[in-house]
């Protein structure tokens, strides 16, 4: 009894109620007064424990934000984060009488009982939740609904176990950070993230279901799709970016064969006041071969053959970082006039730049195991000897614009370091045959050759590209250059001895190796007393 007297007022009240219950039970249980008293005391103890528990629940608990409690419930915190399409149960430290959510399109909130709230993330965004207790005191909780990154993080760890990739969420944006071994792994991680985001955009957010308890609020209106789709920001870094050197050999052989055979015949005859002439001029401007003339008559026979061989060889070396494009051009550029009309409608002439020669563009990607994925586009172009003639209004002269002969190829291969592949088959074979003859006479057998000219030309060329990729590593700091051994000659070496390079100075003699010093023997100590000599 002393314990209850020294307790608080609520305990005294509970004791009075217990005594009243004992008095009520006494007439019914006269034979068991002790049992009735024990039952009343137990009721008092239970009531006291309940009051103590209610007061403890009313006090706010200092728990970390969103700490998982027993049975998968989440403790209440001033700021809470939800994953889109996922739900959770939040335990309240007080008994709530009513609630209100700011934007039902962002989150569904259902009060299951005074101490438990059901939360569902509907769409990406932020809102807040207001809870009132029985004393009408309000508590505000900020809710943030974002993309669920846990499944993507798990899939990254499953498919790319050796890469250190972290997935974080900022609103409707996925952020990939960390370190990957090569560009291929970075592309794979980015592809996974893009597929994950596109799947979420197609799903159109979560759908709220029925509450698992009675007294649920009416379902909120459906979420309106966002105007923008979720994004992926790539903050991945490559551990050691690989560099690739491309060794290209361009070999072209061109052969030209020209055969010409023609005749030129002229006969002039004068009879009285009449003059007769027969002229056949079917040869080229510079005939070669047999010719003859007698008075006003002449005869020329042209039979010539030309054979040419051209060889072109270029060996460009290009270097690029894995995943980056590099280009090379060995040739030149010309400017072609192009007619344009300015804003005032006045035609103007501008110069357009055109490159020609041997050009190579390639994009290397270093794969795992030392393999190199190579996208290469070689091209060989040259100026054509036959241009394009154009004329302009008011100008009698004819301008000749250059034309180009271009051969290019584009391919993608996979090689190991030092392996080569060839792009061949770029063969050009042009045959041109022209016959000019005098009608009738040029068709006469044998003699018709005197009245016709034949021109036969053959152009054959073949182009081959041989490409070899190499993985490049940095050189040591003390790498020796080819000029390190060059010694500039003196005037005496040039004029007296005719040397183009000086002589290296004589090496200084190496000092003789000295024997290691032996420890000196200790001097004998004199015996005690006098030393007799």
Task: Let me know whether 365 and 490 are in one domain.
Answer: yes
Token representation of residue 38: 């024990």
* Number of neighbours of residue 94 by Cβ within 10 angstroms: 20
Nearest to 192 by CA among 241, 232, 135, 239: 232
Tens of pLDDT, residues 395-444: 666 677 778 888 888 889 888 888 888 877 667 777 777 777 767 766 77
pLDDT tens digits along 130-139: 999 888 888 8
Query: Residue 505 corresponds to which tokens in the numbers above?
Result: 């100075």
Q: Do 391 and 492 lie in a common domain?
A: yes
Lowest mean pLDDT among 73-82, 185-194, 290-299: 290-299
Furthest-apart CA atoms within the chain: distance in Å? 181
206-218 per-position pLDDT tens digit:
443 333 333 333 3
Whether residue 302 contacts residue 263, with contact meaning beta carbons closer than 8 Å, is answered with yes
| Residue matched to tokens 């597929």 | 195
Question: What residues make up the domain containing 347?
Answer: 244-496
For residues 97-123, average pLDDT: 88
Domain identity same for 51 and 79: no
H or E segment to which residue 49 belongs: helix 33-58
Pairing relationship of beta strands 452-472 and 421-437 according to DSSP bridges: antiparallel
DSSP conformational letter for 525: P
User: What is the structure's pLDDT at 357?
Assistant: 84
pLDDT (tens digit per residue) in 469-503: 888 877 777 778 878 878 888 888 888 888 888 77
Query: What whole-number distance in Å separates Cα of residue 449 and Cα of residue 301?
Result: 10
Top-confidence residue, 215 or 185? 185
Number of residues written out for the chain: 533
User: In whole angstroms, what is the distance from residue 79 CA to residue 77 CA?
Assistant: 5
At 366-399, the pLDDT tens digits run 887 778 888 988 888 888 777 676 666 666 666 7
CA 286 and chain centroid, separation: 61
Does 311 lie in the same domain as 198?
no
Q: Is 525 a domain residue?
A: no
Q: What pLDDT does residue 310 have?
A: 64
Q: CB-hemisphere CA count at 13 Å for 374?
A: 33
Number of domains in the chain: 3
Q: How many CB atoms lie within 10 A of CB 376?
A: 22
Q: pTM for the whole thing?
A: 0.43
Q: What confidence tens digit (pLDDT) does each residue in 275-309 have?
A: 555 555 444 444 444 444 555 555 555 566 666 66
Residues 233 and 254 in one domain: no
DSSP labels for 87-154? EEEEE-SS-EEEEEES-TTTEEEEEEETTEEEEEE-SSEEEEEEEEETT--EEEEEEEEE---HHHHH
Q: Is the pLDDT of residue 25 over 60?
A: no
Query: d(Cα 282, Cα 267) in Å, to the nearest integer?
Result: 15
Q: Which strand (E) or helix (H) includes residue 341?
A: strand 326-341
Residues 364 and 393 occupy one common structural domain: yes
Measured between its terminal Cα atoms, the distance across the chain in Å is 118
For residue 512, what pLDDT band results from cuts at 50, 70 and 90?
low
Reported as a single tens digit per residue, the pLDDT across 252-278 is 777 776 666 665 556 666 666 665 555
> Is 369 found in the same domain as 468?
yes
Judge if 352 and 391 occupy the same domain.
Answer: yes
Let me know if residue 505 belongs to a domain. Answer: no
Q: Which pLDDT band, with edges at 50, 70 and 90, does 161 fall under? A: confident
Q: Do 355 and 207 belong together in one domain? A: no
């Amino acid at each position: 009894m002393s314990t209850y007297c020294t307790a608080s007022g609520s305990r005294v009240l509970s004791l009075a109620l217990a005594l009243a219950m004992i008095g009520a039970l006494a007439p019914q249980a006269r034979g068991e007064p002790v049992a009735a008293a024990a039952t009343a005391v137990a009721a008092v103890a239970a009531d006291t424990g309940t009051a103590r528990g209610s007061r403890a629940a009313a006090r706010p608990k200092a728990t970390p934000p969103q700490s998982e409690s027993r049975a998968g419930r989440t403790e209440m915190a001033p700021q809470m984060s939800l994953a889109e399409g996922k739900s959770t149960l939040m335990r309240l430290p007080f008994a709530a009488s009513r609630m209100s959510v700011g934007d039902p399109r962002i989150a569904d909130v259902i009060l299951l009982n005074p101490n438990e709230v059901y939360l569902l993330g509907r769409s990406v965004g932020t809102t807040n939740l207001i809870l009132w207790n029985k004393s009408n005191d309000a508590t505000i909780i900020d809710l943030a609904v974002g993309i669920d990154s846990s499944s993507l993080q798990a899939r990254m760890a499953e498919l790319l176990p050796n890469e250190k990739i972290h997935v974080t969420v900022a609103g409707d944006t996925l952020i990939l950070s960390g370190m990957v071994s090569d560009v291929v792994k970075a592309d794979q991680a980015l592809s996974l993230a893009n597929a994950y985001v596109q799947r979420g955009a197609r799903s159109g957010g979560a759908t709220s279901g029925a509450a698992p308890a009675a007294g649920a609020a009416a379902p909120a209106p459906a979420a309106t799709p966002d105007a923008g789709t979720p994004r992926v920001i790539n903050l991945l870094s490559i551990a050691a970016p690989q560099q690739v050197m491309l060794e290209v050999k361009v070999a072209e052989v061109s052969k030209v064969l020209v055969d010409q055979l023609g005749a030129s015949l002229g006969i002039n005859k004068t009879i009285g006041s009449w003059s007769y002439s027969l002229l056949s001029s079917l040869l080229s401007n510079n005939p070669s071969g047999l010719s003859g003339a007698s008075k006003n008559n002449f005869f020329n026979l042209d039979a010539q053959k030309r054979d040419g061989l051209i060889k072109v060889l270029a060996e460009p070396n290009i270097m690029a970082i894995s995943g980056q494009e590099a280009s090379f051009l060995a040739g030149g550029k010309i400017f072609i006039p192009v007619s344009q009309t300015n804003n005032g409608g006045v035609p103007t002439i501008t110069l357009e730049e055109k490159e020609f020669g041997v050009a190579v563009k390639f994009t290397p990607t270093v794969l795992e195991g030392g393999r190199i994925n190579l996208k290469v586009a070689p091209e060989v172009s040259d100026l054509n000897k036959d241009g394009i003639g154009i004329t302009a209004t008011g100008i009698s002269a004819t301008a000749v614009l250059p034309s180009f002969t271009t051969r290019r190829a584009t391919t993608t291969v996979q090689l190991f370091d030092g392996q080569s592949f060839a792009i061949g088959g770029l063969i050009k074979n042009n045959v041109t045959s022209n016959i000019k003859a005098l009608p009738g006479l040029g068709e006469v057998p044998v003699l018709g050759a005197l009245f016709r000219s034949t021109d036969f030309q053959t152009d054959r060329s073949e182009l081959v590209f041989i490409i070899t990729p190499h993985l490049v590593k940095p050189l040591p700091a003390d790498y020796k250059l080819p000029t390190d051994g060059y010694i500039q000659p003196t005037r005496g070496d040039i004029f007296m001895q005719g040397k183009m390079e000086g002589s290296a100075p004589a090496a200084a003699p190496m000092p003789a190796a000295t024997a290691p010093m032996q420890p000196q023997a200790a001097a004998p100590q004199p015996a005690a007393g006098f030393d007799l000599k």
